[in-house]
Structures are given as C-alpha cells and as structure tokens.
C-alpha cells in the first residue's frame, strides 16, 4: 500500500501516486499523455490528443449548470529530472520514491514531480469528481520545462473556454497574475588541444549547492556551481600553471547548476601549493555565500592515470574569460512591482563535445526591451570571444490585469475557505499563460497552486496540508463560476 493512500483528498493523491510511477521527463511524455487519455476513456469523457501529445479532456457541466461559462483547467505533464550525483536512479524507467517528512512530501534524492504533478492530479480529480461546476476543459500540456513547447504548439481552435485557471503556482494563497518572458542562448566555442606539459591529472569537484529554479529562486543569490568553479580556475591560473582538460556542469536550462567538475593537468611539484590555494579560496567562497549556501563541498583529487591532451593556452584563456564574463543572477529589479526581479540570466550548463565547448544560457524578463538587451549582451560577449551563438525564438510574458473577474473570484473564495486574505503577484518565471493568452485573446487567467519548495532540485517538497486547501479552493471557485 502506498504511503499516499491515507492522505486527503484521496482522489487527488491517488492520481499523484499513479503519476509518480510514470517516467515523464521533458520530451518523454508519451506514456503520461496516453495515461491521461486512458483516464478520459475510463470516465467516458470526450478528449483530443494532438501530435505534440498535448491532451484536452472535456467534461460537461453538472445538470442545471449548462449555461455557465466554460472553464479551462491547465497543467503540464512533464517534470524536471534532477538527482544527486550519489543517487542511482534512471528517470526513463524508475518510479519516483516518495518520502514523508512530517507535513511535507519529498523524494529520495531526486526531484519529486510535484511541479506540476499536483496540478495534473487536481485536474484529474475534478474530471472524476461529482462537484458543482459548469463545462470543464482540462488541458494537459507537454514539454513545459524546456521552454513551454507544448503550449506553443496548441491549435488556436482547441479551447472554447475564455476563463483559465493554471494549476502551476507554488505558494498557497499567493496567486500569479503575470509572468516573465524568456529566451535561450546557445554559445559554441571552438577549441584545439595539445600535449600537456605537466605530469599530474587533478579532478576538481564542487557540490552541495542548493540549485533550484532559475526564475523563482534567482533573487536569493544562490551559488552557481559552474560560475564558482570557473572563477576559481581563472583566479588560480594567475599564480599556478594550470592546463585545462575539461569543465562541465549543469543540465536543465531552468535549473541553477548545483554541481560542477573540472579536470586539469599540473606539475607534480605544484600539487601542494594548489591544494593550499584552493583551500583558502574555498574558505572565502563559503563566507561569501554563507547566508544562502550552508553545505558547499569541494574536493581536489589527484587521478592516477595518464595525462590527456589539454586546451591550447589561447583556447583555455578565452573559455575561462568567456564564462567569467557571462552574467548570472538578477540583472535588474522591477521599477513598478516591489521586490520583483525584472531581468535575469542563468548560466545553465557547459559541456565539452569533440572540438568545441557548448554553453547554454537562459534569460528572463518581464520587460520585452530589457530581455532583448540581455540577449544582445550575450551576443556581444560571444562576439568578443570568437564564439558563435544561436538564440531560438523565446516565449512571451503575461501582463497582469487587475480588473480580472477570475482574480476577484479567486480572492473572495480563498477568504471564504481559508479564513484569511490571499495576495497576488507577478513572478519571474515563464508560465504557459503567456503563450495561451497570445493564442486566445481575451482569455481571463489566474495561476494557483499549493506550497512547493525547491522545485527543479532534489530538495523539492510539497506541503501536504496546502494541497488539501488548494483543492478545496479550486472546487469552490468552480462552484461560484457555475
């Protein structure tokens, strides 16, 4: 029996229990998309599954409420697949192993998938349930985490409803009514190698950082493992002859890198001096990041194997300078909404591939002009370093509407069910509402959800009590709309 079987609301947690067993990383959603179809068939509901694997399931209004406006319940099927390096887990085949920690649900060294599995489970619970509501269109999109790609492919005639409740917010009682737009940048730098002059191969590894979502967590100043390790290599190279073999880390464009690794070649006579230098530098790093990073670990280990070829000095100098110059973190705060990051950039990953190095950056802004300026800045840095850059089309933001009808209903009903006042905000992250709003002009939208901490990292957890309140609030909103 699953540990989720005794948690209320049982129907929601039963669906989440099924979802955790289905591999559903971004780009690998066929199985979970087909599962949604199977639920629709079991409930005898009309559905459409498009070529992208988005699914919409339509539930008729409860008798007597047929004239109510149709409501779209929207969530995404994919999850970010992140794990600690010491955890043996295959996201393509293994079931998420959930653990209960008091009032929180988490996973065993991996992301939990509460983002956005709780939203998916809530929509499925509405489809199964016998509550008061008007016509329902439950929209399940794919590939949200890699760039809102499922929402981008939705046909403009798929939905009839013009009220949308997005189920992808992550703080109970805090509604999202606007979001940032964003775009990615792919930098490619050519490299050449030569025989090393040193005789000792050394591995440098930094870990224990919190990582997290490159949008909603970026304001906290969490450490970027890649940026920290690159900084150390750049600075150490001023006093210790270091020959770079590789520098790598990061995986998902919307996750702050938690771990990074480099291999370098040095002279054996410099090993002790190198250890002393890095011990002091890491002590300084720990002090610098101590308010937000408590568990930074660093290892410097001699590898007992033949020294590989290293980057030629010019390529090494350029790569370390390029990575040092790339901005990471908040670049501007909103001038109209207090404490909201307006513009940011995440240096998301660095990977060596043959005779080139690939660097991936993810930029966000609630200001279109500022976003474009950030993308142009990355182009300028790439141009100065001799790297090429590709910038695929990004996704739009979502402008807040303080006169929204669904916002007023959400505020009133939350006060009713929670006996406290909710608040609303715009967030520094991409939501599918931005794209859906472009495809369906006039769509009245809001985003709600339970409390989820540290999404996109193995520390992801969801507040169990908040899920119950979130679901009661959703049902009351549907009742009022009916």
Q: Which CATH fold would you assign to the domain 183-390?
A: Alpha-Beta Plaits (3.30.70)
Q: Which two tokens stand for residue 475?
A: 């049902």
Of the listed ranges 19-28, 79-88, 102-111, the least confidently predicted one is 79-88
Which of 29, 78, 170, 463 is an active site residue?
A: 78
pLDDT of 187 strictly over 90? yes
User: What pLDDT, in 10s, does the model give residues 413-452?
Assistant: 999 999 999 999 988 988 899 999 999 999 999 999 999 9
Q: Say what the pLDDT of residue 335 is.
A: 85
pLDDT greater than 60 at residue 1: no
Higher pLDDT among residues 30 and 253, named by residue: 30
- Going by pLDDT thresholds of 50, 70 and 90, the confidence category of residue 167 is very high
The stretches of 221-270 forming alpha helices (DSSP H) are: 225-236
* 137 flagged as catalytic: no
Question: Rounded to whole angstroms, how far apart are CA atoms 308 and 203?
Answer: 12
Helix (H, G, I), strand (E, B) or coil at 28: coil
> Percent of the chain scored above 70 by pLDDT?
100
Identify the three-state secondary structure at position 461.
Answer: strand
**Distance of alpha carbon 42 from alpha carbon 408, whole angstroms:** 35
The token duo for 252 is 């998902």
| DSSP states of 153-208 | T--TTS---SEEEE----STTEEEEEE-EEEEEEEEEE--EE--S--EEEEEEEE-
pLDDT of 355: 94
Specify the range with the lowest mean pLDDT, choosing from 217-231, 370-384, 387-401: 387-401
Q: Do 10-179+397-481 and 183-390 agree at the fold level?
A: no
- The larger pLDDT score, comparing residue 86 to residue 242, is at 242
Q: What is the pLDDT of residue 395?
A: 87
- Please say if 78 is a catalytic residue: yes
Mean pLDDT of the chain: 95
The string of pLDDT tens digits covering residues 303-348 is 999 999 999 999 999 999 999 999 999 999 988 778 889 999 999 9
Candidate list 82, 144, 171, 459, residue with the active-site label: 144
- Average pLDDT (54-61) is 98
Question: What are the domain boundaries of the chain?
Answer: 10-179+397-481, 183-390
Q: What pLDDT sits at residue 310?
A: 98
Count of CB atoms within 10 A of residue 373's CB? 15
d(CA 358, CA 250): 11
Evaluate if residue 2 carries a pLDDT over 90.
no
- Separation between Cα atoms, residue 343 and residue 332, nearest integer Å: 5
Q: How far apart are CA 176 and CA 215, in angstroms?
A: 14
Task: From 220, 212, 182, select the one nearest 398 (Cα to Cα).
Answer: 182
pLDDT digits (tens, 9 = 90+) for 30-39: 999 999 999 9
Q: Mean of the pLDDT values across residues 174-187?
A: 94
**Cβ-based neighbours of 112, under 8 Å, separated by 6 or more:** 20, 96, 98, 105, 106, 460, 461, 462
Distance between CA 285 and CA 293 in Å, rounded? 10
Q: What is the CATH number of domain 10-179+397-481?
A: 3.40.630.10
Spatial distance between the Cα atoms of 234 and 221, rounded to a whole number of angstroms: 21
Listed in sequence order, the residues at least 6 apart from 56 whose beta carbon sits closer than 8 Å to its beta carbon are 47, 48, 137, 138, 139, 140, 158, 159
């Amino acid at each position: 029996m699953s540990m989720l079987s005794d948690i209320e609301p049982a129907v929601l947690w039963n669906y989440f229990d099924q979802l955790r067993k289905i591999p559903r990383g971004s780009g690998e959603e066929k199985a979970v998309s087909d599962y949604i179809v199977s639920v629709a068939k079991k409930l005898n509901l009309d559905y459409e599954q498009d070529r992208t694997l988005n699914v919409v399931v339509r539930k008729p209004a409860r008798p007597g409420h047929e004239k109510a406006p149709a409501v779209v319940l929207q969530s995404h099927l994919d999850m970010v697949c992140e794990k600690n390096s010491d955890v043996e887990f295959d996201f393509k085949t293994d079931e998420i192993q959930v653990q209960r920690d008091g009032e929180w649900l988490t996973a065993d060294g991996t992301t939990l998938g509460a983002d956005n599995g709780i939203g998916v489970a809530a929509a499925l619970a509405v489809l199964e349930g016998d509550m008061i509501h008007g016509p329902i269109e439950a929209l399940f999109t794919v590939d949200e985490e890699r760039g809102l790609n499922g929402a981008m492919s939705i046909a403009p005639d798929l939905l009839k409803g013009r009220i949308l409740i997005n189920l992808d917010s992550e703080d109970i009682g805090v509604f999202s009514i606007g979001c940032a737009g964003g775009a990615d940048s792919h930098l490619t730098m050519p490299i050449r190698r030569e025989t090393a002059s040193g005789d000792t191969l050394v591995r440098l590894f930094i870990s224990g950082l919190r990582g997290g979502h490159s949008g909603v967590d970026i304001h906290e100043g969490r450490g970027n493992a890649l940026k920290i390790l690159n900084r150390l290599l750049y600075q150490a190279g001023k006093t210790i002859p270091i020959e770079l073999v590789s520098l790598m880390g990061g995986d998902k464009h919307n996750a702050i890198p938690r771990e990074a690794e480099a291999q370098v070649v040095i002279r054996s006579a410099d090993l002790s001096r190198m250890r002393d230098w890095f011990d002091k530098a890491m002590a300084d790093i720990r002090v610098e990041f101590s308010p937000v990073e408590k568990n930074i670990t660093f290892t410097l280990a001699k590898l007992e194997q033949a020294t590989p070829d290293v980057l030629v000095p010019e390529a090494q100098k350029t790569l370390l300078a390029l990575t040092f110059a790339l901005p990471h973190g908040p670049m501007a705060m909103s001038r109209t909404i207090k404490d909201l990051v307006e513009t940011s950039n995440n240096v998301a990953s660095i990977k060596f591939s043959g005779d080139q190095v690939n660097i991936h950056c993810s930029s966000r802004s609630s200001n279109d002009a500022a976003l474009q300026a950030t993308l142009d800045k990355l182009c300028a840095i790439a141009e100065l370093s001799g790297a090429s850059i590709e910038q695929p089309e990004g996704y739009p933001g979502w402008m807040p509407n303080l006169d929204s009808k669904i916002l007023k209903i959400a505020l009133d009903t939350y006060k009713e069910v929670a006996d406290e006042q909710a608040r609303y905000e715009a967030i520094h992250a991409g939501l599918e509402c931005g794209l859906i709003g472009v495809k369906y002009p006039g769509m009245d939208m809001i985003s709600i959800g339970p409390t989820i901490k540290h999404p996109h990292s193995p520390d992801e957890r969801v507040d169990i009590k908040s899920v119950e309140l979130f679901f009661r609030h959703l049902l009351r909103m549907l009742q009022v709309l009916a």
